[in-house]
Amino acid sequence: MNKKQLTRCAGVWVATVLMASVAIAAPKKELSKLTPEGQKALAEYTGMLESLRADLKGKIPVIDEQKAQDFMAAHKEKRDAPKKVKDNKGKVTHAEPPTTEIAKLIVPGLEKFLGNDTLDNQLVKCAVLSTATPRGLAEFAQQGPEKKKLIDDLLADPKLMKEMLYEGGAKAGRYGKAMEIFRSIQSSSPRAKEGHFRRMALAIGLELAAAELNPKENVDPVKRYAFYEKSYLDKELISQFDTFSVWLYRHVTNDPHTDVDMLWMREMLWNYRPDQILAPEEYTGKVVGLMYSEFGHKKPEGDPTLSTSSFQQTIDKGGMCGAKAFFGRCLGRSFGIPVWGARLRSHTAMTYWTPKGWETILGVSFKNGFWTADAEPMNGIVFEQIAKLRNDPEEFIKVCRAQWAGDVLGEERMNGMDTSTGGLWNALAFSKMRLAVAEKCPPVEPAKLAPGEPKPRDPKGYPERLAKPLVKPEFKKVVVDGKGVITIPAVACISPTTNTEKIVFMNTRDGGMNLHYKRWEQPEPIVYEVTVPVAEKYALAANVVTVNQEQFFLLTVNDAKEPVNMKMPYTVGKWGTTEPVTIPLNKGSNRLSFTRTVPEDFAKEGYRFAGPQFGGITLKSFTLTPVR
């Protein structure tokens, strides 16, 4: 399937809840009526904020008024594009955009302030009070003394406040609820008090603090933590999982779907395409690369009366971009991979974390993508900048301090969908981030090809192009038991003997090997030789995995003119056994050939279809039982 076919779609966007950012303002919330206790708390928190602002304003550096005006004019006019200029030979080059030019005049003078943590305790308290708002904190505190204590404990803990703000802040500014979730998780599990388990607990508290913003409000934060803790202890997640920051854990644990959905995702992928999980690191689509090959690109045909889940029906019956994207997000998170949503005006996709950086999939780039289904909407460029600079904590904390300074001065925070918004310090925070990223993460120039050298094929969607597993002799061993039942490993075929565009030899989790017949590419026969002692009839069955209904193989035995239609069971990603078909075998060597047929327009249009010819089949073994 070519890239154009893979990215062509006009799906319907469906909202989901994803990640908060360092540079986004919290949404408005309908105010609740304050009780006398709430009024008292409001006065207390308002007094705290006013006192902090009064004390800190004189300690925030004063920026030259003319430079500030020039910078904000360029910022509000979005003069971020590079200017075209001509050199002395008339050649057109690109100079830095006006916003960047002016920022370079301002930012260096702020380095002493931005690189100093002396004021951090006051700055973070002011930032929490400002973003949560005294009114919002009072509404939470009036619910009872235990709620009030949670807020008081947080406001008395500058280290925790700083950590929360650095990791993106509480969703929609709900710091009281974030504390409640965080403490509840720590009470439920002793492990949640230290190390990566604590970071994950804090991430869930911050991310799930605004439950009403989740399109499926059935995610219990404590149960979600327990799910990932057990998954980690059971070694079900990617190897880098215990190295993640709080910010990355937020992108893992916030899936709106159920733990049951994620458990099925894992089992299905290990059974159906383990090569997607065990692929070499060069294959950046590990786990989520299934999105490239398994979905008929067509209008979804979900049926709520069926016993299968919506995800199981999506991979079976096909779906447009949105259906595939939501499947991929849940699939990635089920293995502990951080995911962020992304879309165009009429197309939904996703982005995901890899050890080499964040990747986009399904036809959206950071340059043209955005995500609005969140408390803090954001375009892809802003997200990419944040993700890159977070790899340099010393620089990223400077960006945070610039934003906290804006909170002290009561500035509007930047809207991540419109980078011309925000007050002076918030705008400078964004420019500071862009300058640091440009310096520390320069664009990588693509490798130049030698004259006549063919362009290498993109392996992104095809792990089988990077890995050619060796089929050891023990994996090909045919076994005959005392009753004459013959078991043939699927990888014991005489053709092919290595990966092709259609057939994939896959290592498995238990150290064995399976064979996969892909839903895409032109049909190709799988051929076996089997020797039997006498001519007689055998019942042939196969141990298979399917994710699509109505799958089949056409089996030709020796030189038979008519093939046998061998129907595959619909196993919904689990292992199952086919109904036996009876075939005659000759004494001595016999040849069994398995293939399929496809319509004439398969090569051109097959990526659109779901149905009998358009589903993959994973094979473990065949059994031949004498019919006597």
Query: How far is C-alpha 37 from the geometric centre of its chain's CA atoms?
Result: 43
Among 496, 501, 505, 502, smallest CA distance to 275 is for 505
Please check whether residue 617 is in contact with residue 526, taking contact to mean a CB–CB distance below 8 angstroms: no
Question: Could you tell me the CA-to-CA distances from 216 to 55, 212, 250, 261 in Å, in that order?
Answer: 43, 9, 17, 13
**8-state DSSP, 608:** G
Q: Tokens at residue 235, please? A: 């070694």
Whether pLDDT at 15 is above 90: no
* pLDDT tens, position by position, 492-548: 999 999 999 899 999 999 999 999 999 988 899 999 999 999 999 999 999 999 999
3-class DSSP state for residue 116?
coil
d(CA 577, CA 561): 26
More confident residue, 11 or 275: 275
Tokens 């013959």, residue located: 486
Give the Cβ contact number of residue 601 at 10 Å: 10
Rg (CA), the chain: 29
pTM to 2 decimal places: 0.90
Among 475, 529, 468, smallest CA distance to 503 is for 468
SS percent in the chain: helix, strand, coil, step 5: 40, 15, 40
Q: What is the pLDDT of residue 402?
A: 97
Give backbone dihedrals phi and psi of 3, rounded to 5 degrees, phi first.
Answer: -65, -35
Question: Bridge-partner residues for 618, per DSSP?
Answer: 516, 545
Whether pLDDT at 88 is above 90: no
What DSSP string describes 445-486? PPPPPPTTPPPPPP-TT-GGGT------GGGG--EE-TT--E
Give the mean pLDDT of 124-140: 97
Whether pLDDT at 388 is above 60: yes
Give the Cβ contact number of residue 120 at 10 Å: 19
**8-state DSSP, 494:** S
User: Phi-psi region for residue 558, left (φ > 0), alpha (ψ -120 to 50) or beta?
Assistant: left
d(CA 470, CA 499): 10
Please check whether residue 428 is in contact with residue 110, taking contact to mean a CB–CB distance below 8 angstroms: yes
**Beta-carbon-side half-sphere exposure of residue 357 (alpha carbons within 13 Å):** 13
Among 276, 246, 257, smallest CA distance to 338 is for 246
All CATH 2.60.120.260 domain ranges in the chain, comma separated: 468-626
More confident residue, 446 or 109: 109
Amino acid at 137: L
In degrees, to the nearest 5, what angle opens at C-alpha 265 toward C-alphas 263 and 268?
Answer: 105
Least confident of 234-248, 318-332, 431-445: 431-445
Of 3.90.550.10, 2.60.120.260, 3.30.70.1230, 3.50.50.60, the CATH number of 468-626 is 2.60.120.260
Give backbone dihedrals phi and psi of 348, rounded to 5 degrees, phi first.
Answer: -115, 135
* pLDDT tens, position by position, 164-199: 999 999 999 999 999 999 999 999 999 999 999 999
Sign of the four-CA dihedral 231, 237, 243, 249:
negative
Q: What is the pLDDT of residue 445?
A: 64
Residues 6+ apart with CB under 8 A from 178: 164, 170, 171, 205, 206, 209
Whether pLDDT at 604 is above 90: no
Least confident of 246-250, 427-431, 552-556: 427-431
Pairing state between β 564-567 and 513-517: unpaired
More confident residue, 456 or 340: 340
Give the Cβ contact number of residue 243 at 10 Å: 11
Question: Whole-number mean pLDDT of the chain?
Answer: 88
283 band by pLDDT with thresholds 50, 70 and 90: confident
Q: What is the pLDDT of residue 276?
A: 93
Helices (H) and strands (E) in the chain, counts: 21, 19
d(CA 567, CA 563): 12
Give the Cβ contact number of residue 59 at 10 Å: 13
Please check whether residue 289 is in contact with residue 466, taking contact to mean a CB–CB distance below 8 angstroms: no
Q: What is the pLDDT of residue 136?
A: 96
d(CA 259, CA 264): 9
Q: Tokens at residue 191, please? A: 């492990």
Q: What is the pLDDT of residue 310?
A: 92
Among 427, 386, 428, smallest CA distance to 110 is for 428
Amino acid at 372: T
Rounded to a whole number, what is the largest CA-CA distance in the chain? 98
Q: What is the pLDDT of residue 96?
A: 67
In degrees, to the nearest 5, what angle opens at C-alpha 176 toward C-alphas 175 and 182?
Answer: 85
Q: Tokens at residue 579, please? A: 């109904």
Please check whether residue 251 is in contact with residue 20, taking contact to mean a CB–CB distance below 8 angstroms: no
Whether pLDDT at 9 is above 50: no
